[in-house]
A and B are shown apart, each in its own frame.
Chain A
Amino acid sequence: SQQGEEDPQALSIQEGENATMNCSYKTSINNLQWYRQNSGRGLVHLILIRSNEREKHSGRLRVTLDTSKKSSSLLITASRAADTASYFCATDARTGFQKLVFGTGTRLLVSP
């Protein structure tokens, strides 16, 4: 399976703390994306990092990509209760250019 793995599967933190999620994938990629999903709803695109980029920022989000290790991390700084959601990485594999393959996801709970 091409599916990526994410860890941790679940993460529980307090408001104001930072949250780090990791994603590992199996194939060469064009880019890697992170999505957020609130319970039972659609996914929201957060950030895209290309295979030739190593780090990218967007507001409180910081994404890193290490293509040699086939891994990425998502850091959410100064978390808020509203950040409570599931977070998925998704890879756009070079061999299946039309497809996004989603990782297993990390469920983040931010307590007030």
Chain B
Amino acid sequence: DTEVTQTPKHLVMGMTNKKSLKCEQHMGHRAMYWYKQKAKKPPELMFVYSYEKLSINESVPSRFSPECPNSSLLNLHLHALQPEDSALYLCASSQKSGGAGNEQFFGPGTRLTVL
């Protein structure tokens, strides 16, 4: 299985809602990532988990809360978002972080709209 899955595909939420994005991989990868991508822009790194521990937080606002329950799962909890948080949220995984093993496998993304 060489696939990264993400659910849901689309999410519409109000600014007072709490929702979660989910990501799963079964490739035995030990690094997992969350990216945010606005239209016609490159992906921007948000968080990196390495061996289930948060290793990079790119100064992301606290209304985004990542969680890595186990080596296959990655969640992104959303609370009190703003309309400018509307974007495509991409999950990725890699065999390890850094060096030549850092080819990343991406999920299809969750298209988030904040009203």
Contact = CB atoms under 8 A, between A and B. Distances in A.
Contact of B97 (A3, A42, A43, A98): A98
Interface residues of B, number: 28
A44 interface: yes
B81 interface: no
A45 interface: yes
A31 B97 CA distance: 13
B109 A40 contact: yes
A105 B42 contact: yes
A25 interface: no
A92 B109 contact: no
Given A44-B106, A48-B103, A97 B42 contact: no
B110 to A, nearest CB: 10
Interface size class of A (residues with CB under 8 A): 20 to 34
Interface in A15-42: 30-31, 33, 35, 40-42
Interface of A: 3, 30-31, 33, 35, 40-45, 48, 50, 88, 92, 97-105, 107
Interface of B: 4, 31, 40-45, 48, 50, 55-56, 88, 90, 92, 97-100, 102-109, 111
